[in-house]
Chain A
Amino acid sequence: MLSLETNKVLESIAKMDVSAHFMEVCGTHTVSIARSGLKKLLPESIKLISGPGCPVCVTSQSDIDYAIALARQPGVIVATFGDMVRVPGTETSLLETKASGGKVEVVYSPLDSLNLAEAHPREQVVFLAVGFETTAPLIARTVQLAKAKGISNLSFLIMHKLIPPAMRQLLQMKEVKLDGFLLPGHVCAVIGSRPFLFLKEEFGLPGVVAGFEAEDILLALFMLAQQKKEGRAEIEIQYRRVVRQEGNPNALKAMEEVFEVGEAEWRGLGIIPHSGLVLRQSFSDFDARNRFSLEIKDSREYPLCGCGEVLRGVLAPQECPLFGTVCTPDSPVGPCMVSSEGSCAAAFHYERET
């Protein structure tokens, strides 16, 4: 059943007769687009491409291996968001490590790791801090609380990433031709829309901050198509009910107090300077890498796994030679097939041919 509004927007997009490739860089957008069947409703001349928007997926293989090595340490409990558990590392996954005796606890909020640490005073709890700017403020708050409460058996494996530097890297690599970005609503709720002005200034590309309902995304795509049609490149906000240009000052303050910007290794994109978060000196006691200093050797991704190319938008999930045959959600080869926000999982669940 098509609602009148949706129909009108779709008609207007079709009438514009614009040919464009737009990229989304947020896993929640990827899932919402796939779940609603949006791609097939758009005119053929408008293509949607998924970028590096799934936090678990962009985590490097050596970081995954580090997390697994931690779970194998006697006396260590690894606390993690559920999506990480099934991601295959070089040899095994956290799930398999747990099944063979390692301690892995799934939590829904980083704050739960405080309770976990207090409940197990004789063990060391390590929280796997993955995510973009969306989860970073809450992790920052958790680190602050751990310090304030003097919790000495909790540390954090920080794998946090920043999305704007990854987008710049992607554009500099010039592998995919893009005409604009659907900007991530949740990230922008924290950092605002200003950090994306470089799209316009350095690359002459438009961006629209979008909400997460299919109707939000459709409207944002309309705004992008309109800019393309009129030859404009502005950073606009469709998700006005949540996002301000300047972001959320409280969240930014917590991040600023706990983290500083550093380099980070991304699956598919490699090491990008200024694209990650690291704990400031005053919180370095809480850095799991300092506390355990494990050495991870020979991290390798599964041969032929297309996750890297998929994350760069070079390869559509269905074009990966392993998609749906060797690699399925039941026996995933790469993280994009595991995470609920991964583009391969979304394509497998929602976009196979009807």
Chain B
Amino acid sequence: MKKEIITLAHGSGGKPTQDLIENHILPRFGNPALKQLLDSALLECPGRIAFTSDAFTVRPIFFPGGDIGKLAVSGSVNDLAALAAEPLFLSASFILEEGLEIGELDEVLESMSKTCAETGIALVTGDTKVVEKGAGDKLYIASSAIGIRRQNPDPHPSLISPGDAILITGPVGDHEIAVLQAREHFFRELELESDCAPLWPLIKSLLAAGLKVKAMRDPTRGGLATVLAELARASRLCLQIEESRVPVKSSVLAACEMLGLDPLYLACEGRMVIIVSEESAQEALTILRAHPLGAQAAIIGEVLEKPEGRALLSTRIGGRRILAPLSGEQLPRIC
């Protein structure tokens, strides 16, 4: 059977566009706001909101543990979750390359719909555009999301103080290595999956227990090291972690050794760096570990007064060095 593909006609705005929306998108995201198909979604937002925007260009669009659709929803949800905001509404614009198999698009949409349902976020508005063959790479997604801020004061680097504990919700680097594995067809024997996941349910469980989060960041591009360096700069304090306490899967370590990559700089798409007061650290860890998304969470370090604005790593053999933000690209188009 001939495979159906996207053609420039799907971007014309006419019948094929309508068909794409009505037969492929609406059935999967049928909420009242979207179904009206107005020029803008009409929404009611109770209270203080957080608003975020992101674009996704990962190659390949399917990788072990996820795909560009799951990544787009997770990425937006996690940017909200990092501000303790409960995800409510999502927009998604699809840039489709002529020749994309409609079956592949369906698979991505299905995965997005499932990820939205897991989190309770509703896709309420969107757009599709088609570009000529060669002008894109199968499928890009641009998304925006709105959430309700559930903690007052909002998590913010200015709340960090000396003595605070630094936590990570799971092993680092799985996503970047999984994408690399899918792209270059090596390390198949590692059986590694991307950590790509929407983290709101996990963060919600922390907030529900009445725990006050001082600051959060999701370590995507640039990884754990870059996020810590940025938090240190923003808080004008020193964030020090211990190498031996940072969870890294042995398969990720093995791949890093072969490719000369540093796991602390690898992108994650389903992890959160969380800073809480020293007194709340153990309770936070217990709550995180009780949730499947945080089963391997760990306390990895603490906040010190000095040196101001620096992130430091205490190495396995007891050396101490700076964690600088990532410069250049370790690997392009991973998210």
Contacts and interface: CB of A to CB of B under 8 A. Distances in A.
Contact of A108 (B186, B315, B319): B186
Interface string B298-317: 00000000010010111111
Contact of A40 (B242, B244, B312, B320): B320
Interface stretch (A1-9, A193-201, A234-242, A281-289): A1-9
Given A31-B260, A35-B315, A341-B260, A350 B327 contact: no
Nearest to B318: A2
B310 A86 contact: no
Contacts of A297: none
Interface string A311-354: 00000000000000000111000000000110000001111111
A6 to B, nearest CB: 5
A227 to B, nearest CB: 22
B314 A1 contact: yes
Interface in A1-56: 1-3, 6-7, 28, 31, 34-41
B317 A36 contact: yes
A36 B312 contact: no
Contacts of B313: 37
A348 B321 CA distance: 11
Q: Is the interface of B mostly helix, strand, loop or mixed?
A: loop
B101 interface: no
A31 B184 CA distance: 25
A1 B318 contact: yes
Interface in B95-148: none
Contact of A349 (B186, B315, B324): B324
B186 A36 contact: no
A50 to B, nearest CB: 16
Given A1-B244, A329-B328, A340-B260, A41 B321 contact: no
B68 to A, nearest CB: 21
Given A35-B315, A341-B260, A352 B320 contact: no
Contact of A354 (B242, B244, B261, B310): B310
Contact of A41 (B260, B261, B307, B317): B317
Contacts of B315: 35-37, 214
A352 B317 contact: no
Contact of A36 (B242, B259, B316): B316
A117 to B, nearest CB: 17
Nearest to B312: A354
Given A108-B186, A350-B322, A2 B317 contact: yes
Contacts of B186: 108-109
Contacts of A352: 322, 324
A218 interface: yes
A37 B312 CA distance: 11
B316 A34 contact: no
A109 B324 CA distance: 29
Contacts of A40: 319-320
Interface string A112-124: 1000000000000
Contacts of B259: 108
B230 interface: no
B156 to A, nearest CB: 26
A330 B327 contact: yes
| Most-contacted residue by chain A among B259, B307, B310, B316 (CB, 10 A) | B316
B319 A28 contact: no
B327 A37 contact: no
A76 B321 CA distance: 43
A62 B94 CA distance: 45
A86 B184 CA distance: 20
A215 interface: yes
B118 to A, nearest CB: 34
Interface string A197-226: 000000000000000101100100000000
A328 B326 CA distance: 12
B247 to A, nearest CB: 15
B319 A36 contact: yes
Contact of B317 (A6, A28, A34, A341): A6
Contacts of B154: none
Contacts of A35: 262, 315, 321
A350 B315 CA distance: 11
Contacts of B260: 28, 31, 340-341
Contacts of B307: 354
A218 B318 CA distance: 12
Contacts of B184: 108, 112
A56 to B, nearest CB: 11
A129 B9 CA distance: 46
Given A35-B321, A37-B321, A3 B316 contact: yes
A350 B323 CA distance: 7
Interface string A295-309: 000000000000000
Which 3 A-B pairs rank lowest in CB-CB distance, beginning with the nearest? A37-B319, A2-B318, A329-B327
10 contacts: A1-B314, A3-B316, A6-B318, A38-B319, A41-B318, A108-B186, A214-B315, A214-B316, A340-B260, A354-B321
Given A6-B318, A86-B328, 15 more contacts: A1-B318, A3-B316, A28-B260, A38-B319, A41-B317, A41-B318, A108-B184, A108-B259, A214-B317, A218-B317, A349-B324, A350-B321, A351-B321, A353-B322, A354-B310
Interface of A: 1-3, 6-7, 28, 31, 34-41, 86, 108-109, 112, 212, 214-215, 218, 328-330, 340-341, 348-354
Interface of B: 184, 186, 242, 244, 257, 259-262, 307, 310, 312-322, 324, 327-328
